[in-house]
Amino acid sequence: MGEEKVSESRPNRLPKQDNFIEWYNALLDLAEIVDRSYPVKGTYVWLPYGIRIMKNIVAALDGIFKKNGIEEVLFPLFVPLQFAKINDKWFEGFKDEAFYVNDKELILRPTGEPAMYPMFKLWIKRGKMPIRVYETVSSYRNESKTTHSMIRDREIGFWHEIHTVHKTREEAVKESQLHKEIYTFVWKELLNIPPICVAKPRYELFAGADSSFEFYNILPDGKLLENGSINNLGQAYARKFELTYIDEAGNKQYMWQMCTGNGARFLAAVIAVHGDAKGLVLPPRIAPIDIVIIPIIKTETKNKIENEVSNLVARLTDSGIKTYADLSEITAGEKFNLWDLKGVPIRIEVGEKETDGDAYTVFRRDLNKKEKVEKTKLIETLQKLLAEEIPNVLLEKAAKVRDEKIKFAETMDAASDLIQKGSIAKANWCESEECFEKMAALGPSIEAIGTLTEEKKEGKCIVCGKKTNLLTLIGKTY
């Protein structure tokens, strides 16, 4: 359908946020996250600053997965077509978006199941149970819709996919709850964004699946972005791929499986939710640089200030704070704008007053506010800002914006009006497929995203009027 418009020239300023996609694309370019001018639809080049942010996210995820006993593997990107066709219902959903290779004998992986599950069958025969593994790779979809970098791509980068295999449903359910807790932690503690988690209705699950959780964000243009899914696959794939074991009574039993995945959309959400008119606002735990030091130099004080900056860099670095001093030839004002654009959490200004005095001028990107910090309390103050205060402020600000976007609707007309005005409608619903489809019929790209897992409210289904305490969100989606 649509093509993502790619400009050969780099924008020279950040446009207003009123047009979200224009602002978002310009920010990707200006902050040097990715280069979107690569001449293949739905792909882009990761630039040094962007890849440092993304790899910080990946490294944090690696640590969390391993802490919870989920081991890393790496499978080939080539999937034999015969494996892809084993689960015919899966293949029906992906065959039109697959990239075919070697005279259609192979496809590039759209998801991991057809590559991994034939190997799981061998591993189970070798006695490896339970299986709890993940990989971080690229996934490939021949996307026909409009593409937007990191939001909807043909090459889905830094995609992590957890796959687990269990003997009982109880083990799989326990695993799904663990994955939900992991993602909730990632959203709150790593990305400082309050998550929206929903349970998908059964008719929206993978064929034969048991249950599913999905996470969403609300972007500045009032659209919902799916951002991570946790799927209890039940025994559907196990039956297709013959993943079985022999129980104590000598009977063949099918396994229960889980899969969980997400990728660079994590970073897309950070950019969209925290970003402002100046540029990026990065959560400290994923920022490549914690603190940038800007020397305010006059000719007669140059050596003294540069010595002060050098000593300060060493002091902060020794305390474990990622520090960078901008000693380039551009003006101090240009440096302020540059590092505001790149979203560095803290800026320290070092001029003659700071060199001779007992305090530094500290600028917080989360509040766009300067304050004086005594030199004797600097390390303690900065560590507290990075570990606690800035993440908490970002989380609270994001929650406030999210809550302002969501408005309760008691009728379909009210929901439609809210959505057309750029809001998200919250409504009671009965979880029936008929009511689900009628909500989606409110307009193009509109859907109900599932049942909120953390909130209930007594009321009547917005469509059929049936009494229920279940809630959903209705809105336009990417």
Q: 146 falls in which pLDDT band (50, 70, 90)?
A: confident
Residues 6+ apart with CB under 8 A from 441: none
Whole-model pTM: value is 0.94
Q: pLDDT tens digits for 303-339?
A: 999 999 999 999 999 999 999 999 999 999 999 999 9
Beta bridge partners of 256: 166
Residue 7, pLDDT above cutoff 80: no
pLDDT value at residue 236: 93
Instruction: Check residue 37 and report its DSSP letter.
Output: T
pLDDT value at residue 11: 76
Residue 266 three-state SS: helix
Of the candidates 430, 432, 436, the one whose C-alpha atom is nearest the C-alpha of residue 474 is 436
CATH match for 406-476 among 3.50.50.60, 3.30.110.30, 3.40.50.11540, 3.40.50.720: 3.30.110.30
Domain 20-274 has CATH 3.40.50.1980: no
Cα–Cα distance between 374 and 355 in angstroms, integer? 12
pLDDT value at residue 9: 61
Angle, alpha carbons 288-290-296 (nearest 5°) = 115
Instruction: Check residue 336 and report its DSSP letter.
Output: H
CATH match for 291-385 among 1.20.1260.10, 3.40.50.800, 1.10.1040.10, 3.60.150.10: 3.40.50.800
3-state SS record for 41-84 = CCCCEECHHHHHHHHHHHHHHHHHHHHCCCEECCCCCEEEHHHH
CA distances from 217 to 266, 318, 402, 469 (A): 10, 37, 8, 23
Q: How far is CA 192 from the centre of its chain?
A: 11
DSSP secondary structure letters along 107-176: EE-SSSHHHHHHHHHHHHHTT--SEEEEEEEEEE----S--BTTTB-SEEEEEEEEEEEESSHHHHHHHH
Whether the Cβ atoms of residue 163 and residue 112 lie closer than 8 Å to each other: yes
φ/ψ of 354, rounded to 5, equals -70, -40
How many of the other CB atoms lie within 10 Å of CB of 145? 12
How many of the other CB atoms lie within 10 Å of CB of 424? 23
Q: pLDDT tens digits for 273-310?
A: 999 999 999 999 999 999 999 999 888 889 999 999 99
Residue 2, pLDDT above cutoff 50: no
Could you tell me the residue ranges of all domains in the chain?
Answer: 20-274, 291-385, 406-476
Lowest-confidence pick of 6-10, 335-339, 343-347: 6-10
Q: Say yes or no: do domains 20-274 and 406-476 share a fold.
A: no
pLDDT value at residue 8: 55
